[in-house]
Amino acid sequence: MRSRFITIVTIALCYTATQAQLFKSKDKEVKPIIPENAYQIVPQPASLTPLKGKFHLLENGKIVFDGRIKDYKFAPPYLLSVLNPATGYKYTFDKMQQGDSPGKNDISFVYDKTITNREAYNLEVKDDRVIVKCSGGAGAFYAIQTLLQLMDDSIYYQKKILGKIWTIPCVTIQDAPRFGYRGMHLDCARHLFPVSFVKKYIDMMAMHKMNTFHWHLTDDQGWRIEIKKYPKLTTVGAFRKGTFQYTSHDLPPVFDKTPYGGFYTQADIKAIVKYAQERYVTIIPEIEMPGHALAALASYPEYACKDTVIEVGTNWGVYDEAFCPTEKTFTFLQDILNEVTLLFPGKYVHIGGDEVLKSRWKESTACQDLMKREKLKDENELQSYFIKRIEKYLVTKQKQIIGWDEILDGGLSPNATVMSWRGEEGGVAAAKQNHDAIMTPGNFCYFDHYQSLSPSEPFAGCCYVPVSQVYSYDPIPKGLNETEAAHILGAQGNVWTEYMNNSNYVEYMIMPRQCALAEALWTPKEKMNYADFSSRMVRHFNRFNILKINYAKHMMDVSAKINSTAGKVSVELSSVIPDAKIYYTSDGSAVTPGSTTYTEAVTISKSGVFKAANFKDGSKIGNDYVQQFNMHKAAGVDIKLTNQPSSTYNPGGAYFLLNGVEGSSNYGDGQWLGFSGVNFDAVIDLGSDVDVSGIKINYIVKNDSWIYAPVKITYSVSTDGVNYKEVYNGVPDASNGLKNAAAKFATEKARYIKVLAENTMIIAGGNAGAGNPAWLFVDEVVVE
């Protein structure tokens, strides 16, 4: 992944170590518990009315299409390719003659000009016929996805299922997407995935009515698209001599000397583009510039600013090299784009634009001369000049550009669409400038982040984005008026693959989060309901079992919310499994049906390991919830902060500092509060005078990710909140790692405790992120 801080040198994956963990959950394969409700569709249709009765499929049935449906031609073969193998029936396709009505026993697709959205459809399943109304092939295709999900799950087998009577429950559905852009991204530069998997990826999108595949084809660690005019891009740029492998947040990486690489030929790409078209998925190719270009520059160093030896990247993070904005570089990039635009028929080309370190441009006489000539006041404006030139060229090819939100810096190109990844601010700024935007904020849409905090999760760069958080995402930020909001085209799940080195791993990371995002983008906002989604997902997982999709099963686990308020810490548990019972223990012992039954939030009164699990018919379902609590005198009490933390790392707020849970060495585990360029300055109110003899705070140091130790820490106590006595000050350990500053002192009476941890403020030259505000990450404030 790439994330705002990142040169992330201390993270990642040792595949062999984590692979076992990744698939371990298979041993406890959950038996499908399929609710009776036959209308279990993901994403939830806009309107669905169940009716009595069933339509029976026939051995020699017919699918009939009205030729006026625009671009319908891919829909009938798709339906036949799923229906016939599993049923063993011989459905055929017929064209409806003008003036014909939908025939008895047929599955008919009728043109309806009143349905103006080409992705929308109305579906009527009656006991003697099925009628779909739509105006476009995409609408017909989405009706097909709905029809398949209305049928027995075994329709997804590609072999004949014996002894089934194939039916569809009667229903009327009116359906249309909330957003026009429903995207998934896949980074094939950091790791390469076979053509067959890229096709499966597109299938998984199509099943959930997603329509745009953002294909990240070039980056520092590999160039993956054949360009005939520049063969070295793939003979040199597609291969790296090894890879840094990361296993934990605490251990340094190990260099794996195995050469790694490969690329997609133009024939592969044409086959994938065709496959996507047949599923109404548009592909947006991403050709990264001017940064993230190491692989290209290793192949053709003459397009770099500095005359130096350049190798394809073997580590993650951001490198200094960038394309040098000279005329010969523009010619080179235009030649590449000529071939790219011929391969991809969609209207957009993504040109990257993110994380460009400007150091090489600052040192380069060519760049400085160009800036003078063009009256560009700084390197941001030079980047803007670069992107504008590329946009101008792509316009001559009838293409529009998309770029990551850094393309706002120095001025947006005239027709650029902004992909907002560093939060939503970029998308908001674009919309306010009358530009389109696509939302991909890290804390909702980065599927390379952890989806569970269980220690057995495969390594991820950082952070925590559980499926419920993805589901809660509303791409329209507050504060936009109607015209501005109309510029938010939709959202996209991003899948950076630094640590995902095979397809199973990718599937595990995207599912079921992709389903949650698909529903957030398709279903009307007022119909979004996580409990209902969860119950549909229990059924949907059975479809995944048949389709051999390797999904994560955390939704089956007990979920827990830790509350820390009114002087008390408590744990609230819930489960999505229908009729499951939750049991728990507070002493670290194993959870069994003989443990305490959960009925209401459990107050945590002493330190220890809390465990909980779901049981159904006496058997455990899913994994245990396990949480160590370290209770102390300030657990659950009130805390006030002078400066607010970033909502990216902890949307929950300050009470996480006093919830009895100490953050792990993953600064994005949801426990840590991150302060960018400001001090951590807190006052704790214990409610009454208490004997206090020790104070400790935890902090993280990770300089590569721009996270620094406090330069100074001060603790003070007070009985009246006005007059404070300092009990400790010191300069804490600034070396990288998970640290704490613990002070012991002679007992003091105190109601108020002031904690000040002073931020480094600005990162010094020569370090990653030099010149930017430093981050300070603090978790539990422990009072003894």
In the complex, the smallest distance separating the C-beta of residue 115 from ligand ACM, rounded to whole angstroms, is 36
185, 249, 292, 540: which is the annotated catalytic residue?
A: 292
Pick 131 or 296: Cβ nearer ligand ACM:
296
Options 142, 201, 361, 421; binder of ligand ACM; rule CB under 6 A = 421
Answer yes or no: are the C-beta atoms of 465 and 513 closer than 8 Å.
yes
- Secondary structure (3-state) at 18: helix
User: Taking the alpha carbons of 513, 518, 523, 525 in that order, is the dihedral positive or negative?
Assistant: positive
316: its two tokens: 């993650």
Options 355, 379, 484, 779; binder of ligand ACM; rule CB under 6 A = 355
Pick 119 or 498: Cβ nearer ligand ACM:
498
The rounded distance, in Å, linking the Cα atoms of 679 and 675 is 7
Number of residues that bind ligand ACM (CB under 6 A): 5
Based on the residue annotation, tell me whether 219 is a catalytic residue of this protein: yes
- Locus of tokens 């001559």: 396
Residue 232: exposure state from Cβ atoms within 10 A (0-12, 13-18, ≥19): middle
Binding of ligand ACM at residue 404 (CB under 6 A)? yes
- For the chain, the residue count is 784
DSSP 85-134: HHH----EEEEEPTT--PPTT-EEEEE-TT--STT-EEEEE-SS-EEEEE
In the complex, the smallest distance separating the C-beta of residue 353 from ligand ACM, rounded to whole angstroms, is 9
235: its two tokens: 């003979």
In the complex, the smallest distance separating the C-beta of residue 687 from ligand ACM, rounded to whole angstroms, is 43
Q: Which residue type is seen at 717?
A: V
Pick 2 or 118: Cβ nearer ligand ACM:
2
- Secondary structure (3-state) at 390: helix
Pick 144 or 509: Cβ nearer ligand ACM:
509
Binding of ligand ACM at residue 220 (CB under 6 A)? no
Closest C-alpha among 230, 198, 235, 206 to residue 146? 206
How crowded is residue 261: how many other Cβ atoms within 10 Å of its Cβ?
A: 18
Answer yes or no: are the C-beta atoms of 715 and 700 closer than 8 Å.
no
Give whole-number Cα distances, 214 to 163, 190, 597, 759, in Å: 42, 15, 47, 38
| Chain-centre distance for alpha carbon 205 | 14
66, 106, 124, 219: which is the annotated catalytic residue?
A: 219
In the complex, the smallest distance separating the C-beta of residue 222 from ligand ACM, rounded to whole angstroms, is 16
Q: Considering only CA atoms, give the Rg of the chain.
A: 28
Closest C-alpha among 122, 118, 120 to residue 70? 118
Pick 421 or 522: Cβ nearer ligand ACM:
421
Based on the residue annotation, tell me whether 487 is a catalytic residue of this protein: no
- What would you measure as the largest C-alpha separation in the chain, in angstroms? 93
Pick 124 or 187: Cβ nearer ligand ACM:
187
Pick 355 or 484: Cβ nearer ligand ACM:
355
In the complex, the smallest distance separating the C-beta of residue 335 from ligand ACM, rounded to whole angstroms, is 25
- Secondary structure (3-state) at 236: coil
| H runs (alpha helix) in 662-712 | none
Binding of ligand ACM at residue 190 (CB under 6 A)? no
In the complex, the smallest distance separating the C-beta of residue 356 from ligand ACM, rounded to whole angstroms, is 10
How crowded is residue 654: how many other Cβ atoms within 10 Å of its Cβ?
A: 18
The rounded distance, in Å, linking the Cα atoms of 138 and 176 is 11
66, 355, 406, 448: which is the annotated catalytic residue?
A: 355
Pick 8 or 192: Cβ nearer ligand ACM:
8
In the complex, the smallest distance separating the C-beta of residue 457 from ligand ACM, rounded to whole angstroms, is 20
The C-alpha angle with vertex 740 and arms to 457 and 561, in degrees rounded to 5, equals: 45
In the complex, the smallest distance separating the C-beta of residue 2 from ligand ACM, rounded to whole angstroms, is 3
Burial 532-567 (b: 16+ CB within 10 A, else e): ebbbbbbbbbbbbeebebbbbbbbbbbbbebbbeee
Pick 65 or 404: Cβ nearer ligand ACM:
404
Beta pairing, strands 400-404 & 417-420: parallel
In the complex, the smallest distance separating the C-beta of residue 1 from ligand ACM, rounded to whole angstroms, is 7
Closest C-alpha among 248, 331, 397 to residue 737? 248
What would the x/- binding string for ligand ACM be over residues 143 to 182, using CB under 6 A? ----------------------------------------
Based on the residue annotation, tell me whether 355 is a catalytic residue of this protein: yes
Quote helix, strand, coil % in the chain, to nearest 5.
Answer: 25, 30, 45
Residues 465-524 that bind ligand ACM (CB under 6 A): none
Q: Please, which residues have CB within 8 angstroms of residue 544's CB and are 6 or more apart in sequence?
A: 511, 551
In the complex, the smallest distance separating the C-beta of residue 419 from ligand ACM, rounded to whole angstroms, is 7
In the complex, the smallest distance separating the C-beta of residue 425 from ligand ACM, rounded to whole angstroms, is 14
Residue with the CB atom nearest ligand ACM in the bound state: 2
Q: Running DSSP on this structure, what letter comes out for residue 607?
A: S
Pick 441 or 477: Cβ nearer ligand ACM:
441
Pick 3 or 698: Cβ nearer ligand ACM:
3
Pick 111 or 404: Cβ nearer ligand ACM:
404
Binding of ligand ACM at residue 2 (CB under 6 A)? yes
Options 124, 175, 226, 354; binder of ligand ACM; rule CB under 6 A = 354
The rounded distance, in Å, linking the Cα atoms of 441 and 646 is 13
DSSP 419-445: EE-SSSHHHHHHHHTT--EEE--HHHH
Pick 421 or 724: Cβ nearer ligand ACM:
421
In the complex, the smallest distance separating the C-beta of residue 6 from ligand ACM, rounded to whole angstroms, is 8
Closest C-alpha among 271, 186, 263 to residue 230? 263
In the complex, the smallest distance separating the C-beta of residue 428 from ligand ACM, rounded to whole angstroms, is 17
| H runs (alpha helix) in 217-265 | 232-235
Q: Running DSSP on this structure, what letter comes out for residue 304?
A: B
Binding of ligand ACM at residue 278 (CB under 6 A)? no
Which parts of this chain interact with ligand ACM (CB under 6 A)?
A: 2, 354-355, 404, 421
The residues that are catalytic are 219, 292, 355
